[in-house]
């Protein structure tokens, strides 16, 4: 299928430093990649799980496509740019091998920008030449990409671990995944259907039911699983009892409660005041811990995130 994506959107994404790969994938430098290389400040996933920020590729195989239009999402949505494209009209998919090659090349290109950076750490720069991890999460819903299991497999073949983040609206795809990621995240950003409709603005009628089906599937995964909740002040931080029931259904390895960040195109939909302080996130996480029996394992105040688990300590993927 020809690319029917409006040129305005492509231009906007390029302006926001998305490196477009093939017909529907992209890599973008994560803020923490920069912070790790230049200021020795890695992301919270390095702190929690040992994933090294300076060796991480942030990518998506579904740049233009999603089953939701979450208010807090940093990606460009139809109304943001006053253009329309059908986010559910899926293209002919590029092959996993070409996406992996293209992503590695894009990361290499991003890295060349740091060669002459006076403050870049040279040891880390050398290490960054060999990425070790992929966050399949940048934007869009990755489970819409049909050969997702093969993509994970290709990355693994190249020695990269993968953290996959899904909104959980494609349970059939998840249940048939030919290869599991290293860690699987499901976003749960509402305690009930009413809040879900208001905050996550699903584009398919049974999205809430599908999310619940996905939660029921989580226990069948061998990899560690995470329920991630993006918290928006005044929108989805109440009804902790109902969140606890969703956790009970999924029994994830972890829960990450994280503040909404006022960045990207979300600025056009939500005000700055919607961003909760770390202490509000911590309070929400503590109440959830009390209801679920999960323990507070760790936190990162600068990322406004709190990690809960039934484990005594998180599983680390690198020393």
The least distance separating ligand SF4 from the CB of residue 17, rounded to whole angstroms, comes to 14
Contact stretch for ligand SF4 (CB under 6 A) within 53-61, 88-96, 244-252, 306-314: 53-61
The least distance separating ligand SF4 from the CB of residue 53, rounded to whole angstroms, comes to 4
The least distance separating ligand SF4 from the CB of residue 113, rounded to whole angstroms, comes to 16
Contact status: 48 vs ligand SF4 (CB under 6 A):
no
Contact status: 270 vs ligand SF4 (CB under 6 A):
no
| Residue 295, number of CB atoms within 10 A of its CB | 13
Contact status: 32 vs ligand SF4 (CB under 6 A):
yes
Number of amino acids touching ligand SF4 (CB under 6 A): 20
Contact status: 236 vs ligand SF4 (CB under 6 A):
no
Q: Which of residues 13, 27, 30, 207 is near ligand SF4 by CB under 6 A?
A: 30
**CB closer to ligand SF4, 80 vs 150:** 80
Binding mask 147-166 for ligand SF4 (x = CB under 6 A): --------------------
Structure tokens at 26: 């992209």
Residue 67 neighbours by CB under 8 Å, 6+ apart: 87, 88, 141, 144, 167, 169, 170, 202, 203, 204, 207
The DSSP result for 255-285, as a single string, is EEEEE----GGGGGTS-GGGS--HHHHHHHH
Task: In whole angstroms, give the CA distance from residue 50 to residue 205.
Answer: 38
240 within 8 A of 200, measured Cβ to Cβ: no
Task: In whole angstroms, give the CA distance from residue 171 to residue 32.
Answer: 31
247 within 8 A of 191, measured Cβ to Cβ: no
Q: Which of residues 128, 135, 231, 285 is near ligand SF4 by CB under 6 A?
A: 135
The residues that bridge with 259 in the sheet, in sequence order, are 231
Contact stretch for ligand SF4 (CB under 6 A) within 132-140, 147-155, 237-245, 248-256: 132-140
Q: Are strands 225-231 and 254-259 parallel, antiparallel or unpaired?
A: parallel
Contact stretch for ligand SF4 (CB under 6 A) within 67-75, 97-105, 124-132, 149-157: 67-75
Structure tokens at 237: 């931080």
Contact stretch for ligand SF4 (CB under 6 A) within 52-60, 113-121, 153-161, 250-258: 52-60
Contact status: 53 vs ligand SF4 (CB under 6 A):
yes
Q: Which of residues 73, 148, 211, 240 is near ligand SF4 by CB under 6 A?
A: 73
162 within 8 A of 182, measured Cβ to Cβ: yes
How many CA atoms lie within 13 Å of 193's alpha carbon, on the beta-carbon side? 7
Q: Are strands 305-309 and 295-300 parallel, antiparallel or unpaired?
A: antiparallel
The least distance separating ligand SF4 from the CB of residue 78, rounded to whole angstroms, comes to 11
Contact residues toward ligand SF4 (CB under 6 A) are: 30, 32-33, 43, 45, 51, 53, 56, 58, 66, 68-70, 73, 75, 135, 139-141, 167
């Amino acid at each position: 299928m020809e690319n029917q994506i409006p040129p305005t959107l492509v231009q906007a994404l390029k302006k926001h430093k998305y490196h477009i790969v093939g017909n529907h994938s992209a890599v973008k430098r994560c803020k923490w990649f920069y912070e790790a290389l230049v200021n020795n400040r890695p992301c919270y996933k390095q702190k929690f799980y040992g994933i090294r920020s300076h060796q991480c590729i942030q990518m998506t195989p579904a740049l233009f496509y999603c089953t939701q239009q979450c208010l807090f999402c940093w990606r460009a949505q139809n109304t943001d740019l006053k253009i329309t494209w059908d986010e559910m009209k899926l293209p002919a998919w590029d092959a996993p091998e070409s996406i992996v090659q293209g992503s590695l090349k894009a990361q290499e290109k991003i890295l060349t920008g740091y060669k002459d950076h006076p403050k870049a750490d040279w040891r880390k720069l050398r290490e960054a030449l060999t990425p070790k991890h992929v966050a399949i999460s940048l934007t869009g819903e990755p489970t819409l990409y049909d050969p997702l299991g093969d993509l994970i497999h290709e990355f693994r073949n190249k020695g990269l671990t993968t953290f996959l983040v899904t909104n959980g609206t494609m349970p059939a795809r998840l249940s048939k995944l030919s290869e599991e990621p290293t860690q699987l995240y499901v976003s749960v950003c509402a305690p009930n259907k009413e809040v879900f409709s208001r905050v996550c603005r699903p584009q398919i009628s049974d999205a809430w039911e599908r999310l619940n089906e996905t939660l029921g599937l989580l226990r069948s995964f061998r990899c560690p699983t995470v329920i991630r909740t993006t918290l928006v002040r005044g929108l989805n931080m109440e009804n902790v009892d109902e969140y606890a029931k969703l956790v009970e259904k999924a029994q994830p390895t972890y829960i990450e409660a994280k503040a909404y960040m006022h960045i990207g195109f979300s600025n056009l939909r939500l005000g700055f005041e919607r961003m909760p302080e770390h202490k509000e996130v911590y309070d929400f996480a503590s109440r959830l811990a009390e209801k679920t029996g999960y323990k507070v394992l760790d936190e990162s105040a600068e990322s406004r995130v709190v990690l809960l688990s039934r484990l005594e300590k998180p599983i680390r993927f690198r020393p």
